[in-house]
Structure formats: C-alpha cells, structure tokens
Amino acid sequence: MLLDNKKVAIVGGGPAGLTLARLLQQSGVYVNVYERDLDKNARVQGAPLDLHDESGLAALRKANLLEKFKENYMVGADREKIMNPNGNVFFSDHEKNLTEDFGKEHFRPEIDRGVLRRILLDALETETVVWNSHFLSMEKQGAGWLLHFKNADTQYADLVIAADGANSKIRPYVTDIKAIYSGITMLEGNIADAKNNAPNIYEMLNGGKIMAFGNGQNILMGQKGKGEIGYYISFKTDENWHKTIGIDFTDKTQVSNWFQKAYATWNPMWYELFENVLLPFIPRPIYYMPFDQTWSSQSNVTMIGDAAHVMSPFAGEGVNMAMLDALELRECLLSETHSSLKQAIENFENKMRPRAATIAKKSLDNGELMHSENALESMIDFFSEVK
C-alpha cells in the first residue's frame, strides 16, 4: 500500500477532513487531523446539511456510518416553503408523507452540522484529532513537510491534505489560483430556542426550510438542532460590502436598522429575526473557483472540499462534493493500480476538478436565478417539478 509507514496530516476538522480520516483509518493508515477549534465542544457554525445518495451518503456508507446517520438525521427538515416578501406561501410540501427514501435520487435528508461532526468524531481512534491547532505554515523536509501551528507543536507528515475550507492556508502550496467573488453576499444569523425567542417565525418554519424571494433579494432559513434556527439574508452587492457598510455586526439594532432600509418592501413580520438573535452576525461573501482551474500534482500535498473548489451554496452540493472528494481520494490512495503517491494524487485531482467545476457552474447559475427579478416564479416552477 502506498501509505504503508506514512504519516498523513489532514488540516481541517470539517465533514471532509473527518470523513477522510475515518476512511483511511479503516485501512490502517496513520492519520492525524489538525483542527483550530479549541475542542470537540466548540460551536459549529453554518446551516444544516442535506446529504445526497451519490456523494455525501455514499461516503458515509463506505465509512460504515449510514445507520448512525439514520438514527440522527432531522426527519422532515428537508420540507420546503417558498414565499414572497409578505410571507404568502406559493409552494409547500409539508403535507407530503414523511417516509425514508434512502437510495432515491431526490431524497436529501438533513442533519445538523454539529451532530454530523459528533458522529464522525466518535468513529475515529482516540486522539486522532489534535485540537487547538491553528495552522500557520509548512516547509519541505525530505519527502514530506514540517507543519507549524500558532499554539501547538511542529509536526512532520509524509502527506498533507488541505481540508481547511474556503480560506485555506495550504492551498497556496498547491496553486496560486484564487477564488472569484460571485457578486452575492449572505448575512448569517442564528436564533437559539426559537420556539420562545422567535415564535412566529418558528411556527411558520414548522421544522423545515423557508425560501423567500422578492426584488432580487432572498431570505433563506432552516431548522437546526436543539430548537435553533439559522437564516441567511442574501443579496447582490460589492465584494467589500461588509467592510464598508459601517455596521457593527455585534449590534443587533444596527443590523436590524440596515435590514429595514435595505429590505424596505419586505413585511415587518421578518423583523422578529433580529429581536433575540445570537451575536455576532456573520457576513459571508460568496466565492467560486475558476471552472478551468488546473495545477501540477505533487507527491505529498493535495486538497479536498472548499479548499480545492469553493462554490456558492445555491445547489446544496458543497458538503456533498467535499465528502465525495474524501471518498475518491481514499480510493486513489489505497488503490493497487498506482505506482506512486504522485500518480494517485494526480488521478484524484484530474477527476475531482471537472466534477466540481460542473457543480460549481450549476450552483452559480442557481444563485443568479435566485437573485433575479423573476426568482419567485422560477423557484416555484423548479420545486414543483422536482418534488
């Protein structure tokens, strides 16, 4: 096996990194995951994840974790309501029967990010994850790398895998190609104990998801674990909006006042989103990688997930592509058909790039559609056909 007597370092303890660690450990590979979070109890940011049969769920199936997923996914959280700015419902599938359809293309069960992380962590060997490891830099040593961290010891690895997200610190060691701003920014908010802190929104959400469209603007929200809801205010603006708008994102009054002006045509019913929000709000400019990106493969470093192909979130494919990366990289690294690590990595990267580019283009097109003047009508037609 190409990884016999090799030390593998995965930088980043998100779904991609943890899935890959599990898949490699199943075959006896020595692997550590270096994660900047203080410990396993750190708050996991972001919306729930809908996993797809041919990608995210396929990776869990290979990792022998599908049954654990079935025990923990949020039944009904994939149900959808499409609304206009006044809260009028134009599409809803809340009345459909809630049946498990694992193995079906259009069944996309949702799971809280924190719960998925716990499932993956529990499947790893003790001390696989080295917490509080903020990656700073690395330098070549022999055939491998010395990794330097802000607050942890220097470590050696024969193979380094970047799973550290859209702002990857390892990506520059692979390529100088940079992400492109999509023209869309999302402002993330979260409400704990939403039943009491945002009762009207909570009732309207009804454990599922809401997509509201109007005037080229969106509000997207979904049920999270432990009674929390997460939402995104999504709109077109310049790349540095969050730096130049002059809003203190730790001040809910300032953000609420901005919303009331920017979304002036939207019903005041949405103001409840700001009354008991967890702070701070998180501005998220949305980026994507050039569809034709390429680089020369190396024998001791590669990338998976957003580090390799960050894409806009408007197709629900980001985590699925990341977990599929983990699965396909595992297959290449453990295959007996490759004569060297470089060949295995090259094979993986040559398949990964076009696959991810196709999905990234679809996601970017969806983003444009969702922020168009006809977004409401287009999305109603889309969901009516799919569901």
Which residue ranges make up the annotated binding site for NADPH?
43
Helices (DSSP H) in the chain: which residue ranges? 15-25, 56-62, 66-72, 113-122, 194-197, 199-205, 241-244, 252-262, 306-309, 318-334, 341-370, 375-386
Q: Which residues pair with 74 in a beta bridge?
A: 110
Question: In this structure, what DSSP letter does residue 69 have?
Answer: H
Q: 3-state DSSP call for residue 229?
A: strand
For residues 339-354, one letter each, b for 16 or more C-beta atoms within 10 angstroms of the residue's C-beta and e for the rest, the string is eebbbbbbbbbeebbe
In angstroms, the CA 386 to CA 21 distance is 34
Helix (H), strand (E) counts: the chain: 12, 17
**Which residue shows structure tokens 């889309």?**
382
Count the Cβ atoms, other than its own, within 10 Å of residue 53. Answer: 18
| Binding annotation | 43, 50, 113, 306
Angle (CA) 324-208-231 rounded to 5° is 80
**Annotated binding residues for FAD:** 50, 113, 306
Give the integer Cα–Cα distance in Å for 218 and 186: 9
Pairing of strands 229-236, 180-191: antiparallel
